[in-house]
Structure 1
């Protein structure tokens, strides 16, 4: 069945990923659209990393921080970076590109949510970002539009998404309020949702592609701490997502987390998440 293959990965610095072997994976992955987070570089670094590809890059305001990009075999039809209120600095964290899925428009988003830190100003920025996601998700899905939000969203939605969830209940990435946003993003469209943090809101109907494909299983994880033997023991977090708009959900095909075979073969602390969308 014909498809568009979309992959996402937090590269943890594009220059480091290239040095550490990113292209060994990419050359075999047959990806059509690749979304990147934590580029932490300039346009010329992406051009050197992806010769012959079309590249759209939104760097962070602070040089060497964050940064998102969309790299594709064919150029995007249009791109956008507008996100949140005018006084909210989202540079380097939200980039939209429009492509064709067969003959139907598809918006692909590369998103990098703040990691946050509980009860600090860093977490305040994360709350602003998660709050802004709701209206933007609603707008992207209007009139049965096809859209997919990909990237490092820095929230483990459910207990199945973090191996050591009991030890992380008071830490950024698994706070009840963070998870509550995802309850609403992924709740049944138009229905009243009672979130894990005790709040209520209206479900937006978006689909967590990884959970949709794998069902009620632990993981598959996409990020592992460099501490101890987390990677070798698969003590990870599933924080890298494809979120599909309701109209895109029937087009979800194969889903794959490209976890390296060994710790030594990793080129980022995140694994690429690859999904085929059919047409």
Structure 2
């Protein structure tokens, strides 16, 4: 099962940048999509041979997640069970075979007033993943808006007080991984620095001044061939792809 996670920064924008051609070339079985910023547009994926499920934000043109899949998803779930968070379309999941696939878009705290909202979401995600892992194998992909270690951000020294690299956010990510989730991209990278998001400021992408804030996490499955597609340029985020090799007993 070939899986891709991607923050689109707007589905319509990504389509203009070549998303359908990229999907046709790489032919993923499951697409975990974030920041869709559109009402459901199943026709886009149906034309490419995919079923799709959607959890849009109530606010038009904002946030939203979706999953496109070759096989229809079963056991569909949307949201955390928290009204303010769920109104922003932050989490959707469903089952193919024995594996639950989830697309996640955690809030950004880049605007000061949103940090409290982001912080409120972290224990909710921890609780959701704990429950999901108890039920069976899990693949959780998405934009976490947290760079876990110094290897995951170019200018870590100057960003220690920046949302996305705050000590308590990094400690939370450490705890999430310790609960039983595997960071497949980091495992593939070893001690290499690599990023999945670059600011639109001049020179950030060209000089590789980025953050690794997108993850493909898993529990109860073996994943291989994990890579970030830096050159795709479908949005300001890189897609991450992997193959689910087999389900662990």
Q: TM-score range by the shorter chain?
A: over 0.9
C-alpha distance in structure 1 between counterparts of 2:11 and 2:79, whole Å: 24
Is residue 2:136 matched to residue 1:139? no
Deviation at 1:78, TM superposition (A): 2.0
Q: What is aligned with 2:34?
A: 37
1:258 matched to 2:232? The reply is no
Moved more, 21-30 or 170-179: 21-30
Deviation at 1:77, TM superposition (A): 1.6
CA distance in 2, matches of 1:16, 1:222: 18
TM-score (norm 2): 0.93
Instruction: Indicate the residue corresponding to 1:125 in structure 2.
Output: 117
Deviations 1:94-129 (A, max 9, x none): 0011111xxxx10011000011136x3311110111
Is 1:154 matched with 2:145? yes
Deviation at 1:69, TM superposition (A): 0.2
Quick check: 1:47 aligned with 2:43? yes
Classify the secondary structure of the residue corresponding to 2:123. Answer: helix
Q: Could you say which residue in structure 2 is the equivalent of 1:61?
A: 58
Deviation at 1:205, TM superposition (A): 2.0
Give 5+ residue unaligned stretches, structure 1.
188-203
Q: How does 1:188-207 map to 2 (within 5 A)?
A: 204-207=179-182
CA RMSD of aligned residues (A): 1.6
Deviations 1:19-59 (A, max 9, x none): 11112321111200001111111123x42354231010000
Displacement, 1:90?
5.0
- Residue 218 of structure 2 corresponds to residue 218 of structure 1: no
Counterpart check, 1:274 vs 2:203: no
Change in 2 beyond 3 A, CA 1:255/1:88 = closer
- How far did 1:88 drift? 4.4
Structure 2: which 5+ runs fail to align?
Answer: none
Instruction: Please say if residues 109 and 115 of structure 2, whose CA atoms lie closer than 8 Å, have aligned partners that are also in contact.
Output: yes
**The residue matched to 1:7 in structure 2 has which SS?**
strand
- Secondary structure at the aligned position of 1:43 is classed as coil
1:107 counterpart = 2:100: yes
Matches within 5 A, 1:162-177: 162-177=153-168
Q: Which has the larger radius of gyration?
A: 1
Residue-pair matches, total: 245
Q: List 4+ stretches of structure 1 deviating above 3 A.
A: 84-91
Deviation track 1:130-170 (CA, whole Å, cap 9, x = no partner) reads 11011111111116x21011011110000000011111111
